[in-house]
Structure 1
Amino acid sequence: MEKLDVVTFGEAMAMFYAEETGPLHRVSRFIRELAGAETNFAIGMAKLGFRSGWVSKVGNDAFGKFVMERLQEEGVNVEHVLASSEHPTGFQLKSKVFEGDPEVQYFRKGSAASRLKTEDFNEGYFKKADHLHMTGIPLAVSSSVRAFAEHTLDFMKKEGKTVSFDPNLRPSLWNTEQEMTAVTNEAAAKADVLLPGIEEGQVLTGCSTPEEIAAFYIDLGVQLVVVKLGEEGAYYQTKTDRGYVQGIKVAHVVDTVGAGDGFAVGLVSGLLEQREIKDAVFRGNAIGALAVQSPGDNDGYPDKNSLEDFMNTHLKGAK
C-alpha cells in the first residue's frame, strides 16, 4: 500500500442521535451516524486531503459494515481493520439538545473493538505512516486494547515517527481516577504533541491554570502542549514559546461532541504542513467552531477550501 500521512486506532460505533428533544427513553425517531474519537480524526484528516488510516476490529454485522463503508466513503484507509464473527460492533444513543452537552448512552461492553490485542498489530502498516494520533480511550476500553495501544505508541516512537496524544478522558470506563491518571500520564509523557482540555489537564496534573498544566508536561519531555479552552480558544507552550490563541465565537452551538477531535485535526494538519504553531492552533480553533454547529460528531468538518475560507473570514478577530 501507499504511504500514510497519519494513522490512528480505536473503537468505532454506530451512533443514533435523536430527531426530537427529551429523555432518550421517550425518543421514537433517531438518525444513524458514525461515532468514535479516532474515526472523527481520521475522517477530518481525509477531508483535508491527507492520507489517513484507521485500525480497529468490528463485528461482522450490519453496524460493522456501516462503519467500514462510511470510512471508505470518506477516503479513510481501512485495509487493516479486522472483522469478528463472535463479537458485535458497539453502538450508542445520543439525545438532541439546543444548548449544552447531550445525554449519551453506550452499548459497547464486549464489543469486537474491545478484543483488539497486541497480536493484531501490523508492523508494516504502522511503519508506512509518518504520524500517529492516539487518544486515551483505548487505554481504558480493556486490558488487551491497552496493551495494543502501549505497544503501538512505543513502536512508533522507536521508529522515529511523530506522535500526538489527546487524553480524551472517559472516567466511566476506568476502575479508579488514580488508575486513569497514572496510565494516561504515562502515555502522555511519550507524545510529541499533547492536547488536553482544561478540565482534563486539571484532573491529570492537579494544576489549575493552562500555564501550569502545560509546564507539567513540558517538564516530562513533551515538545508541544496545547490546552483546549473551549470557546475561549487555546493556550500553547513549548520550551521556548507560549501564548494564547483566541477562539472563534459562533452564533448557535448545536452539539459540542466532536469539537475536540476537530481541534486535533486542525492542529495536527497544520503542524504536518509545517505551519507556525500559532497558525496551527488557530486552525484547530476553526474546525472546533465548525464542528459545534452540526448535530453529528464529524459532519461539520470542512474540506481544505471551506476551511481556508472560514479561517480567512475570522482571522482578524481571532489573532
Structure 2
Amino acid sequence: MIEHKPIALTLGDPAGIGPEIALMAWQARDTGPGLPPFFLVSDPDFVERSASELGFSIPIAEVGPDYATEVFPRALPVMPLPSGARIGAIAGRPDPANAGATLESITTAVGLVRAGIATAMVTNPIAKYVLTQVGFAYPGHTEFLAALSVEPGEPVPLPVMMLWSETLAVVPVTIHVALRRVPELLTQDLVVRTARIVAADLTQRFRIARPRLVLSGLNPHAGESGTMGTEDRDVLEPAVAQLQDEGIDIRGPLPADTLFHARARATYDVALTPTHDQALIPIKTIAFDEGVNVTLGLPFIRTSPDHGTAFDIAGKGLARPDSLMAALRLAARLSGFHP
C-alpha cells in the first residue's frame, strides 16, 4: 500500500470561519467518500479554544507533518506556527493583529508542499483588506501564492484561478481588478497565456485527454460584430484563432448570457471569461457549497473553498464545511490520492 503524505491546511483569517470549518471537516472526515489526511498550520491552543467555544468535542493533537497521517483518524493534527506565535482572535472581529499569523500559516504551508513534506495545500479564506493594513501588497491570495512558488529573482508564473465543481468549471482571465480596468488589461497575450495554462493543467492534473475550452465575450452579445464594443472582435477573436492554430480545442468569443445553461455546459470542460464576476456569479449560483478554487500554473497543488471569511456568522455554528471538504478531496484527487 502506498502511503500518501498529508495535505497542509492553512489557518485563513482566524476571526473568520476558517478554524470552524476545519474542525467541522475533521469531524465529518468519514462521511461520504471520506477525507484525505490533513493537518492545520495554526496555534494549537487557539484551535482548542475555538473548538471549546463552539461546543465541539474534538481532540486536538500538536504534531509535525510527519505524524499527521498517523494521528488523523483519532485527532485533528495541528502543526504549530514556526514562530511560536499565539493567536488571540475573537470570532467575527477581524483584527490586523492577527495578520502575521495568517501570512505565516500560508508561507509555512507553501514551504512544506514545495519541499515534498505535504502532498498539496488547501487554503482557508483570508480578508485582504485586513492584510493590507500591515503592508500586504498583493491583489489577492492567488497572486501571493504565485510569488511564493519561486525563488527570489526567478520569474513569477502567471497564476490562473479556476473555480471548479462537478457541474461547472470557470476561469476569469482578469481577476481582482476594478471593472473599469478590464479593457486595458485584456490583451491577446493574456488570453493566450491563460488558456495554455488551463489546457495544460486539465490535461496533466485533471487527466482530460483533450480539454474543451470556451471563451465568453466581454461585451453584450460578444460585441455584436463591433457594434457593442470592439474588444471581442479585436482582442478575443484573434486570441481564439491563435490558440486553435496551436491545437487547443477552444471556441469563442460567445455571448456570456447563453453560456451557462445546462445544454451549453455539456459542450465544454471549462469556460474562460474576461471578467471576475462573469465567471464567479454562475458557479456560485449553481454550486455554491461544492465549488472549489484551484490555482493553475503553480508548481504545486493548491485548492481552496470558493467562499470568503464570513465574519458575520463566524463562531455561531452556522458555517458549512462542504466547500472545504470538496477542496480537500479535489487536492487529494489531483495528487493521486483516493481515500
TM-score by length of 2: 0.38
Greater per-residue strand proportion: 1
Q: Which has the bigger relative contact order, CA under 8 A and spacing at least 6?
A: 2
Q: Which has the larger radius of gyration?
A: 2
